[in-house]
Amino acid sequence: MERPNWHALAVTDVLGRLKTDFTSGLTADEVGRRLSENGKNILSPPIKTPAWRRFLAQFENPLVIILLISATASAFAGRTTDAAVIVAVTIVNAVIGFIQEMKAQGAIDALAKMVRTECKVIRSGNKAIRIDAEELVAGDIVLLASGDQVPADLRLIESKNLLINESALTGESLPSEKNIEIVDEAAAVGDRKNLGFSGSLVIGGSGRGVVVETGDSTEMGKINALMQSTEDLNTPLMDRLEVFSKVFGLWVVGFGVLIFVIGTYRGGTKTDMFMAAVSAAVGAIPEGLPAVMTIVLAIGVKNMAARKAIIRKLPAVETLGSVTVICSDKTGTLTANEMTVQRVITTSAGYTADGIGFNPSLGKLHGPDDQDLASDPDLQRLLKGAILCNDSHLVYKPHGVEVEGDPTEGALLTVACKAGCNTDELRRTFYRLDVKPFDSALQIMSSLNHETDGSSTLWVKGSSEKILQMCDRQALGAKILPLDIKAVLAQVEELAGHGMRVLAFALLPMGDAKIIPDSFSPMIFLGLQAMIDPPRSEVRSSLEICKRAGIEVKMITGDHLATAMAIASDLGIGSPGVPGVEGRELAAGTPEQLSERAERSAVFARVAPEHKFKLVETLQRRHHVVAMTGDGVNDAPALKRADIGVAMGFSGTEVAKEASDMILVDDNFATLVRAVEEGRNVFNNLVKSMVYILPTNTAQGLVILFAVLFGLKELPVTPVQVLWVNLLTAFLSLPLAFEAMESGLMDNKPRHPSQPLIESSLVWRIVTVAILMTFVSFLIFWYETDVMGSKIAVARTSVVATMVAVELFYLFSARGLWAPMPGIEPTLNPVIWPCVLATVAAQLAFTYVPLFQNIMGSTPMDLEAWAIILAASAGVIPLIETLKRWTAPKVFAEVDELSPADD
């Protein structure tokens, strides 16, 4: 059944449709019937992948499948040691991957927790009872008071100055002033003033509402459904690795088949040639690469944690380096989420306030020529009115200052304190006689206060339009002059043009009145106060770095378009002359229009959760790698859909954190920029590891291929020895994970999503090292067997030592993708020398320790053999350094050194 537009129906129509009563509510029998029919007021839990399935998924990689087939073939051929070693390596890699996936968490559990609360309802008569919110049904009459969490979606049927904070749902920084009037059907969620939404918070006034939607049917339920229907996307790294695995897997299979065919054609037995093919496959597969990449990513996680960025999903480390667009929530992310008065305009002068937030000690109010604020009667009168016509309080706590009441009123008290006013003393001296709370229809609040001479004064604050309609005079010092409305309107227009919210103030002497009359004579205008949710102090420089790095920032908010455009213009977001887009335009446009707007515009206002989701999805279809920052419930689906979701740690809701890939502990946009830089460095180090590991695998396959082609009776290496070389190569690649950042990382555009994992110039480097290793290995094998007449065990041991020696020398050149080896500071990497020494010790044990000799088929070598091997292997350094100079991209041509990461 189609869901009614509850906000567009009159109260009587809503009550009639739900068959409930304003004063008595539902009967117990009716509640029971509706509960059994519609279920409890809870969100549907997610379907989770069982642990066993996640573990088995680790074996779905094509390269892993080939390894398992090779192990099975080795076992059938009687090579049980080879088979056991291959299986052991495969299982270890699978366990590492499984442990990382176990860290994944669900966002929907946090959503469900948010709706588990108690509420006060009227049932079976006019008596109010408190129940678990899970037991609510459509038609229940719910009572709301300050401090309550709205337990379900309500159509308000009574409102007394009701204020509800919906910022986590709508992105609106100001509380929503609620009423019971009918709203247009097309109104956005943030404009439905007659509805209370599940999970939002009552911060002032009281009210009564009838439950219209529960559980999955609420606005929060829609978010839940979006999140459940959102698939976790592969990161760019995962996509590239998947392509690499398939291509490399096909190459390995083809290579093994080629060896088998050539070998049998040249007269070799099928058994021998099959084992040769298995050896080539095992040698060609970089089985240690997944573990090495996991370690590289884990080190990136550790580095980011030190920079106050917590990574929840391991591949997200690298994804940051690929980001092309950041979709950033305005409230609390780009702005401080603390209303702050910045301009105070009296009838005689203008004042500017600095500092952000509600702590008066963090700023001051500055007047023209730094005049004494206490000596300006117009300013003192205006500030006095803002203090007395105010229901809120500043609460000083150990961690800072909080507002008890409306944030707008808190901002007025804060600026008064910055000017030196004692708010408590003023309120005691000029105590209140009567008050009319803020009325959203009238757009004013009125307070009647006692004066020291026994008279009373009426203080009024409200919208500039309403206050100006009520005034015909203005106070200027001790004089009362005619009001210059045009001048005031010009000031209002100028302030509003900067995205500020403007409040006006007025007073009227009331003689001995004790109550506020229904009507009174024209008032005396006092002045204006303009406030804004200001940008964070560190945001500007971070945005500038993003521009330099080729990353576009798009501001997405539930706020009004004019306010959003003003903030964006102030921060330099977007291109001059390009208009912003409202959420209703996103919903009404064609896919082509949405695509064009998503690419062209940088400001998106009045955006609902489904609009954010659609926007991120559209950008991804345009081949962008999208990061979404946010802190509210409304951000969760888009956070999950984005290539990387970035939640705020301090101000973020649990829902946003659970849906994210990364959490910024300090809510600092600058931390995100540093994380992007670290992500780019992680990708560099991942590529270094692959460019370092793959030549060994390629060379081992080529050695076996040429042995078959040349008709050698014995292979130069056995499958177990192949795995030994692969193990040491993977271990030697670990120092590359600790390499410092190459200079200029944030001066280049992001990698294009279609760019291959290893570019062509690096492929040629892999091939060059592999050919060198193959040539030197055959040279040593020939020297030992044909020249020296050594046994096959000695020759094989020498070949293994040659491959390890080439990798040892190559490591020092591989530390920089393009930076020449002499420019790389050796002390910047703390683990390179321990790894080198450990590898040397392991290779000596392989050669001389009996246990290793029995398992690996190795044998001792003399010093002459070592000298020849080291001399032949050292040639890799000048060869690769020359190749770097010839093939370095222009953007890296001038990079001749590595610089340490900034602390």
CA 49 to chain centre: 24
The catalytic position among 82, 140, 153, 329 is: 329
DSSP state, residue 335: B
Which residues are CB-contacts of 618 (< 8 A; sequence separation ≥ 6)?
591, 594, 595, 598
Confidence of residue 272 (pLDDT cuts 50, 70, 90): confident
What does the pLDDT average to over 733-741?
A: 85
Whole-number Å distance between alpha carbons of 811 and 814: 5
Residue 353 pLDDT exceeds 80:
yes
Confidence of residue 258 (pLDDT cuts 50, 70, 90): confident
Q: Tally Cβ neighbours within 10 Å of residue 51.
A: 11
Amino acid 89: pLDDT? 67
Buried/exposed 477-498: b ≥16 CB within 10 Å, e otherwise: eeeeeebeeeebeebbeebbee
pLDDT digits (tens, 9 = 90+) for 825-846: 666 788 889 999 999 999 999 9
Torsion, CA 779, CA 780, CA 781, CA 786, rounded to 10: 80
Q: What are the C-alpha distances in Å from 138 to residues 111, 148, 153, 359, 666? A: 20, 19, 9, 43, 41
Whole-number Å distance between alpha carbons of 684 and 709: 37
Residue 483 pLDDT exceeds 50:
yes
Token pair recorded at residue 675? 């994380």
What does the pLDDT average to over 269-275?
A: 76
Q: Whose CA is closest to 765, among 893, 886, 890?
A: 886
Token pair recorded at residue 756? 């291959």
β-strand 626-630 against 644-648: which pairing, if any?
A: parallel
Amino acid 566: pLDDT? 84
What does the pLDDT average to over 304-332?
A: 81
β-strand 552-556 against 603-605: which pairing, if any?
A: parallel
Q: Whose CA is closest to 800, among 900, 711, 716?
A: 716
Highest mean pLDDT among 95-109, 384-398, 739-753: 384-398
Going through 307-353 in order, the beta strands assigned E by DSSP cover 309-311, 325-329, 340-346, 350-353
What does the pLDDT average to over 695-704?
A: 85
Please report, rounded to a whole number, the percentage of residues in the chain having pLDDT higher than 70.
Answer: 86
Amino acid 902: pLDDT? 39
DSSP state, residue 49: P
Q: Tally Cβ neighbours within 10 Å of residue 840.
A: 14
DSSP state, residue 322: T
Residue 651 pLDDT exceeds 70:
no
Residue 101 pLDDT exceeds 70:
no
Question: What amino acid occupies position 536?
Answer: R
Token pair recorded at residue 287? 């089985």
Whole-number Å distance between alpha carbons of 543 and 669: 8
Whole-number Å distance between alpha carbons of 260 and 237: 34
pLDDT digits (tens, 9 = 90+) for 2-17: 678 999 999 999 999 9
Active site residue 329: yes
pLDDT digits (tens, 9 = 90+) for 784-795: 998 898 999 999
pLDDT digits (tens, 9 = 90+) for 413-464: 999 999 999 999 999 999 999 998 877 667 889 999 999 999 999 999 999 9
Whole-number Å distance between alpha carbons of 558 and 329: 9
Q: Whose CA is closest to 807, among 836, 764, 775?
A: 836
- Specify which residues 395 forms β-bridges with: 402
